[in-house]
Amino acid sequence: MIISLSILALTLFVTLALCLRGARGASSLEQWSVGSRGFGTILVFMLMAGEIYTTFTFLGGSGWAYGRGAPAFYIIAYGALAYIMSYWLLPAIWRRATEWKVLSQPEFFARAYDSEGLGRVVAAVSIAALMPYLVLQFRGLGLIVSEVSYDAISATAAIWIGTIATVVYVMLAGVHGSAAAAAIKDALVLITAVGLGIALPSILHGGIGEMFTRLERERPDFLVLPTTGLSPSWFASTVVMTVCGFYMWPHTFGSVFTAKHAGVFRRNAVLMPLYQLVLLFVFFVGFAAVLSVPGLTGSDVDLALLRVTKQTFGPWIVGLVGAAGLLTALVPGSLILMSIATMLSRLMTPRDATKVQSSTQARLWVPVLAAVALFFTFLGGATIVTLLLMAYSMVTQLFPALLASLLPRTTTSWGVSASGAIAGIIMGEVTVAVVTLGELSLPALLPTWPRSITDINVGFIALLINVCTMITVSRFTRTTHFDDTRTAAPTALAA
Amino acid sequence: MTRPYRLLALVPVIAIVAAPWLANRAEPRLLGMPFLLGWLVMWLLVTSLVMALIGALDSRLDSRLDAQAETRRDAAPLP
């Protein structure tokens, strides 16, 4: 316990120290939140990976493989597709964001549609979607520290320590701190995930092939998608829905702005799919745990990785794995905090505020937001997974309006108006909220419909409703107003 | 379509979205993994290759276009 906790404390200390070194000179909001748009391939790559590999992938990925089997593979599938999309999508976003000098996602939408109202709707959606995500990170943090301390530290104390550490370094260091921490986190996650993914199946089952042979014998249907529920149509619709939402998270959208030039994203489109392979090893850990630490159910499946590690290895390894887990919670947590704070301060400060003033205000929001997230974390309840799925379905609704704003407008038929965009987003969100909060299930509502239709992910259905609303409302509210930057660069998306 | 090679990116998209119908089985095993997982991992690697290829072709074309624009500017008579 002493050894594993010391490793955890050392990791936290080194990360904080590195972040504080990166903090010098970050005084304006632009420096604090987007690093003066001067980051190259490696740093942007680190930042983006820093946001994508969260406690949900590290603990949740292995937990899903453990609890559900084959449906967990959707996590590998959507990653690959999201990076293909990024090749065209991110340079287009980056070029406009840089030209317009915007710092956050709501501003981007407001500028693209020349509508403050749309900006406020986007900000509200973003903040509503990010809070449960932040709560999830904090809860993961508590889980990891109390498991690694062999229950010597309570989850509550762990959550407090982690939150305070996050707040301190976000307030001092901003995006530079996150990039430095992301680098340490990536190294640790790579080593521990790949190490565990290879070591656990061979120690416990005599190899990866043997492990799957045993699994197939004992749980014959575990390694293929079921015919109902998490079925093929659920898989495909979830993949499409999550790909659309992938870059709509405000913090991911925000990290696009940190790039020095658009070529950074082209190289990332090659590197990121390889990085996604880490998940394969995370799955191996989950599958190894199925046969070795059976019996975890409900939300306890997220403990599968930590439990099987504790059962197999000594405190040194447990400490290292815990440190990796700690950083997968802290780094995305800090980026989420920072992007909500940036959004709020830009919404609240008057236009004539100086750069230093708005930067100070953004920093002051950080502890307030952390306190709110802590409140929800301690409020507890088993609804966190429901909330996360809802959050993903929520941010995805921003995608159609974003795409429409990027398309070349050589013909007016594509023109989507600000009212159309707002109506589409609201209809999409209402669909998600009604179905998720009302705990409605489509197979129960429409029992006579084929399961291949009723298994479709609700976020995907909301997306369709969103697009139809957006196009219909736009037909009636379209104005002849054209943004000059848009007509000046009709081939921007293709460039 | 000035850059038809970009359509290559559609191949992994189709292979992955249609995977639950094309590849939803455990046998034959690929590198010890169940077929569905092996299929997805294979296409993940192909995705990286395809994006590297498209990226290389794009930057070659871009630099050629840049060079052309330069010569055109040089050749233009001074106002």
pLDDT in tens, A317-376: 888 888 888 888 887 788 788 878 877 777 766 555 555 556 666 777 778 888 877 777
pLDDT at A287 over 60: yes
Minimum-distance CB partner of B21 among A80, A232, A274:
A232
Who has greater pLDDT, A441 or A466?
A466
Residue A139 has which token pair? 């809860």
pLDDT at B74 over 50: yes
HEC per residue, A127-169: HHHHHHHHHHHHHHHHHHHHHHCCCCCCHHHHHHHHHHHHHHH
Q: What is the mean pLDDT of residues B34-63?
A: 88
pLDDT band (50, 70, 90) for residue A397:
very high
| DSSP classification of residue A60 | I
Least confident of A406-420, A421-435, A475-489: A475-489
Contact between A119 and A424 (Cβ < 8 Å): no
| DSSP classification of residue B77 | P
Q: Could you tell me the CA-to-CA distances from A314 to A88, A145, A416 in Å, in that order? A: 46, 16, 59
Give per-residue pLDDT as tens, A95-108: 888 888 887 788 88
Number of other CB atoms surrounding residue A444 within 10 Å: 9
Alpha-carbon gap: B73 to the closest alpha carbon of chain A (Å): 20
- Binary contact (B32, A233; C-beta < 8 A): no
> Three-state DSSP class for A204?
helix
Residue A327 has which token pair? 């950083």
Give per-residue pLDDT as tens, A38-59: 565 566 655 565 556 677 777 7
Cis peptide bond prior to B28, omega within 30° of 0: yes
- Binary contact (A494, B2; C-beta < 8 A): yes
Give per-residue pLDDT as tens, A288-332: 888 888 877 766 777 888 888 888 888 888 888 888 888 888 877
Contact between A330 and A141 (Cβ < 8 Å): yes
Residue A154 has which token pair? 């309570």
**Average pLDDT value for chain A:** 77
pLDDT at A393 over 50: yes
Task: Please tell me which residue of chain A has the smallest CA distance to B4.
Answer: A494
Contacts of B33 in chain A (CB under 8 A): 208, 212
Is B17 near chain A, with CB under 8 Å?
A: yes
Q: Taken in order A106, A107, A111, A114, is the CA torsion positive or negative?
A: positive
Minimum-distance CB partner of A84 among B2, B33, B47:
B47
Q: What is the C-alpha to C-alpha distance for residues A417 and A409, in angstroms, rounded to an integer?
A: 12
pLDDT-above-90 percentage for chain A: 2
Is B70 near chain A, with CB under 8 Å?
A: no
Who has greater pLDDT, A489 or A213?
A213
pLDDT band (50, 70, 90) for residue A176:
low
- In the numeric block, the tokens 């590198």 are attached to B31
Give per-residue pLDDT as tens, A59-91: 778 888 888 888 888 888 888 888 888 888 888
Give the pLDDT confidence score for residue A34 in this predicted structure. 57
Contact partners, residue A25, CB within 8 Å, separation at least 6: A31
Contacts of B24 in chain A (CB under 8 A): 70, 224-225, 232
Q: What is the mean pLDDT of residues B13-30?
A: 84
Contact between A58 and A324 (Cβ < 8 Å): yes
Instruction: Kindly indicate whether the ipTM for this predicted assembly is greater than 0.90, answering yes or no.
Output: no
Contacts of B34 in chain A (CB under 8 A): 70, 212, 216, 223-224
pLDDT at A174 over 80: no
pLDDT-above-70 percentage for chain B: 90
pLDDT at A482 over 70: no
Contact partners, residue A433, CB within 8 Å, separation at least 6: A390
Number of other CB atoms surrounding residue A28 within 10 Å: 14
| DSSP classification of residue A374 | H
Give the pLDDT confidence score for residue A464 in this predicted structure. 92
A414: left (phi over 0), alpha (psi -120 to 50) or beta: alpha
Give the pLDDT confidence score for residue B77 in this predicted structure. 60
Q: Is B42 exposed, middle or buried (0-12, 13-18, 19+ CB in 10 A)?
A: middle
Residue A460 has which token pair? 């995907």
Task: Tell me which residues of chain A have a C-beta less than 8 Å from any C-beta of chain B.
Answer: 70, 73, 76-77, 79-81, 83-84, 87, 207-209, 212, 216, 223-225, 231-233, 235-236, 239-240, 263, 266-267, 269-271, 273-274, 276-277, 280, 283, 494
